[in-house]
Amino acid sequence: MFGLGMSEMVLIGIVALIVIGPKDLPGMFRTLGQFTGKARGMAREFSRAMEAAADEAGVKDISNTIKTAANPKQFGVDKIKDATGMAKGPETQTLSEERQAAKEKMSAAMGKAAEERHAREAAEAAAETTAPEADK
């Protein structure tokens, strides 16, 4: 609260107890609590009034219009994609022979690298399991 730590709050409480006195301290805290409650209530009321004013001004309608405009289906972008062939998924798109060959070459290289990594990890795991047994 207010960026104060527990030690600062205790120090403020001790100073308040000394300055105000133990007799008047509960009354001061009660008044402070009421003031805080009224301030929060006023802030809540202000926030509600601003939301009501925005509703009356049509901000929600404008927001909905912007959201609708941002939706590509409302503007027929999906029809444009169909017409240009961009709507096809990766499984239906065809690659040129050169690109297909490059794709297969990369896939084979990645597969080989993955197999080598699995073999290396298995060998390391086997070495780790046999090393503690040798120490015994």
Domain ranges of the chain: 95-136
Quickly list DSSP for 40-53: HHHHHHHHHHHHHH
Interatomic CA distance for residues 85 and 90, integer angstroms: 12
Q: What token pair was written down for 115?
A: 């197999």
List pLDDT tens digits, range 51-79. 888 888 777 778 777 777 777 666 666 66
List pLDDT tens digits, range 82-110. 666 665 555 555 667 888 888 899 999 99
- Token pair 């008047």: residue: 24
- Tell me which residue of 77, 93, 76 sits closest to 85, measured CA to CA: 93
List pLDDT tens digits, range 26-44. 898 899 899 999 999 999 9
Interatomic CA distance for residues 75 and 24, integer angstroms: 69
**Contact criterion met (CB below 8 Å) for 74 and 68:** yes
